[in-house]
Amino acid sequence: MPSGNRDRLRVQGSPARRGPLPGRAGFGAVATPYAFILPAVLLFSTFSVYPFFLLTCTSLLDWDGISATKSFVGFSNYWSVLTQDPVFWRSFGQAGFITLLALIFQNAVALLLAIAVNRRLRGASIYKTIFFLPPILSEIVVGLIWFWIYDGNFGIFNYALKAIGLGALARPWLADPRTALTAVAIIHMWKGFGWGFVIFLAGLQTIPEELYEAARVDGANAWTRFRHITLPLLAPVCVMVSILTILGTMQIFALIVATTGGGPGYHTEVPITRIYHSMLGSSRFGYACAQGIVFGLILLVFSLIQMRFQRRST
Amino acid sequence: MLMPMALSPRLTTLMQRTREWLGQVGWHVLCLPVAVSCLFPLVWMLSSSLKTQQTVFNDYRIIPATPHFDNYVRAWIQGRFGIYFLNSLGYTAVIVGGVVALAALAAYAFSRFTFRGSGFLYKLLLSTMLVPIPGAFVALYILLNQLGLIDQGQGEWLPRLGYLLPQVNVGLPFGIFILKPFFDTIPKELEESAAVDGCGPLRTFWHITLPLARPALGVVALLTALSAWNEFLLAYLVFSRHELMPLQRGLLAFHGAHLTEYPLLMAGMVISIVPIVAIYLVMQHNIIRGITAGALKG
């Protein structure tokens, strides 16, 4: 540890600046910030930076992940991903389908509920507590609860349908190719809307009440107030929520593992399940990395839009 | 509101009140079904966890005729959920401790010192929160395998380490992101007087800055705990032995091995959510504050 005299030099604006010249501060004082940051940097280099390079390099190899022989194949993995992997692109489209449903329904419900709870609704805090309950549960727990609710033979969902005379619709929702993907999307939205809700609510609470008062005095009705005050002022929050919904939903994984495992057939496969399968299912590590990078580059477009928006709003 | 002047003031207030009341009812009509749909799956999980292997398939009442609380004992012991629970508890504690300690140290350096590469490093760390690298888990698996930290029957501490270290790393950017601006708001004068009294930087940090940063540290700890408790992908990659698995991985293992044993599975799930639901109910405000800060601030 450096001596107290040297430390004083490093504390900005300290009266000790009148002391010895910075040049004589010595190694201790210069090293102090690095000592503080070293543990984080070590971990970050090992588990974020190095894997990033490993990912890039491995994507150029044909490698089963175990054997010592790795053959350099250039960009042929990428070529295969782009031109010879219909299942991967199908999985991409399926994640896109869930994302689209989430963007429309999950976020609409989230916004509507946020507006409701923001209106000094009686029991608002209870609603808030309940709506944010699904987001704090794990995808595995949520997936397994719904797996049981959707169960074809004994699930409460089919039982309820029969009870109200719609027994003809009853089916194994997660095992039927026609319904599996939508059923998964519903679970995902059930888990996710509360998250959008709290962010919309936080956004709404930053809009000053005086604006609404003034509009009311001018005779603006509820719709006009929503259209001309709430919507424009909430637009940046809407964009943020939409982008985070896209990034989060496209990378859905645990929920799929807990409910369908990608089945029936390939009907609920998503990009991450495909990458996982390429890696540990078919032992094509290089190919899995190439899939990951292609997918990551597509997602990067959305995160760049997000960064641009954040810069503008701050 | 434009009101005809002829209406008596009493009638006007009556109309206003009716409007307000109708508005309240309207919003409740919207919110109530959503709230019920949020709670019902959880109620159904609780209900199913108290039924027997037979009644779970034919007794559709929410409150079963004879609740079988012994399911929880069986889930805890035979279902191995006791082991999974204690593993999760240990993993979460270590990850929270690691993230809070390392993120606080790093955030303090970013807040108080300018050193070579500090700006670049700060941006690089935070960029991992924004830039998605969906294939990163493949590279992480290769790395952990090279380091001998994937569970393949070796000493149990290696796979545990392989599970813990990457998660501390994953939590760092968020921790720094919350703590650095908070440290910026703490006046430097306090630290300067401590330095004048001969306190080294580490002691100043420990005795002066950290106690003042308790609220922000709390938010970081809470959100880290939440994501550590719910983590699945890494546990799926690393562990193959049941005695090392955390709850999320254990739940899937149980479900895979006993596909139709819903009462025990549901009991295991209730066990797995009790701690986070309890923490959520007490700390709700802080959790939501952390979530919104992560999403809204840039």
pLDDT digits (tens, 9 = 90+) for A244-288: 899 999 999 999 999 998 889 999 999 999 999 999 988 899 999
Q: Could you give the CA distance from residue B194 to residue B196 in angstroms, rounded to a whole number?
A: 5
Tell whether the model's pLDDT for residue B273 goes beyond 60: yes
Tell whether the model's pLDDT for residue A16 goes beyond 70: no
Helix then strand count (H, E) for chain A reads 17, 2
Tell whether the model's pLDDT for residue A138 goes beyond 90: yes
Given A44, A147, A216, which is nearest B172 (Cβ)? A44
Mean pLDDT in residue range A28-53: 88
| Most confident of the following: A5-19, B14-28, B70-84, B201-215 | B70-84
Tell whether the model's pLDDT for residue A182 goes beyond 80: yes
Residues of A in contact with B234 (CB under 8 A): none
Measure Cα distances from B234 to A26, A190, B226 in Å.
44, 24, 15
Given A117, A279, A313, which is nearest B141 (Cβ)? A279
In chain A, residues 223-282 whose CB comes closer than 8 Å to chain B: 237, 240-241, 244, 247, 251, 253-254, 257-258, 271-272, 275-276, 279
Amino acid at B100: V
* CB of A314 less than 8 A from some CB of B: yes
* CB of A132 less than 8 A from some CB of B: yes
Asked if the Cβ–Cβ distance from B38 to A194 is below 8 Å, we say yes
* CB of A44 less than 8 A from some CB of B: yes
In chain A, residues 150-179 whose CB comes closer than 8 Å to chain B: 153-154, 156, 159
Tell whether the model's pLDDT for residue A38 goes beyond 50: yes
Tell whether the model's pLDDT for residue A296 goes beyond 90: yes
Task: Output the DSSP codes for B184-235.
Answer: HHS-HHHHHHHHHTT--HHHHIIIIIHHHTHHHHHHHHHHHHHHHHH--HHH
The b-or-e profile of A142-178 (16+ CB within 10 A means b, else e) is bbbbbbbbbbeeebbbbeebeeeeeeeebbbbbbeee
In chain A, residues 60-119 whose CB comes closer than 8 Å to chain B: 65, 109, 112-113, 116-117, 119
The one-character DSSP state at B66 is: S
* CB of A15 less than 8 A from some CB of B: yes
Q: What local confidence, expressed as pLDDT, does residue A25 receive? A: 52
> What is the number of other CB atoms lying within 10 angstroms of the CB of residue A254?
22
Q: Could you give the CA distance from residue A214 to residue A42 in angstroms, rounded to a whole number?
A: 55
Tell whether the model's pLDDT for residue B1 goes beyond 70: no
Given A52, A134, A271, which is nearest B134 (Cβ)? A271
Contact B199, A4 (CB under 8 A): yes
Q: Could you give the CA distance from residue A165 to residue A51 in angstroms, rounded to a whole number?
A: 55
Complex confidence, ipTM? 0.90
CB-based burial label for A239 (10 Å; 0-12, 13-18, 19+)? middle
CB-based burial label for B237 (10 Å; 0-12, 13-18, 19+)? buried
Chain A residue closest to B252 (CA)?
A258
Q: Could you give the CA distance from residue A284 to residue A21 in angstroms, rounded to a whole number?
A: 59
Asked if the Cβ–Cβ distance from A137 to B28 is below 8 Å, we say no
Half-sphere exposure of A13 (CA within 13 A, CB side): 8
Residues of A in contact with B296 (CB under 8 A): 199, 202-203, 237, 240
Give B207's strand partners: none
Asked if the Cβ–Cβ distance from A43 to B205 is below 8 Å, we say no
Least Cα distance to A184 among A286, A81, A269 occurs for: A269
* Predicted confidence (pLDDT) per residue in B108-133, tens digit: 999 888 888 888 999 999 888 888 88
Tell whether the model's pLDDT for residue B4 goes beyond 70: no
The b-or-e profile of B47-70 (16+ CB within 10 A means b, else e) is bbbbbeeebbeebbeeebeeebee
Tell whether the model's pLDDT for residue A4 goes beyond 90: no
Interface test with A, best of B30, B34, B121, B210 (most A CBs within 10 A): B34
Helix (H) or strand (E) holding B280: helix B262-296
Q: What local confidence, expressed as pLDDT, does residue A27 receive? A: 64
Mean pLDDT in residue range A223-247: 89
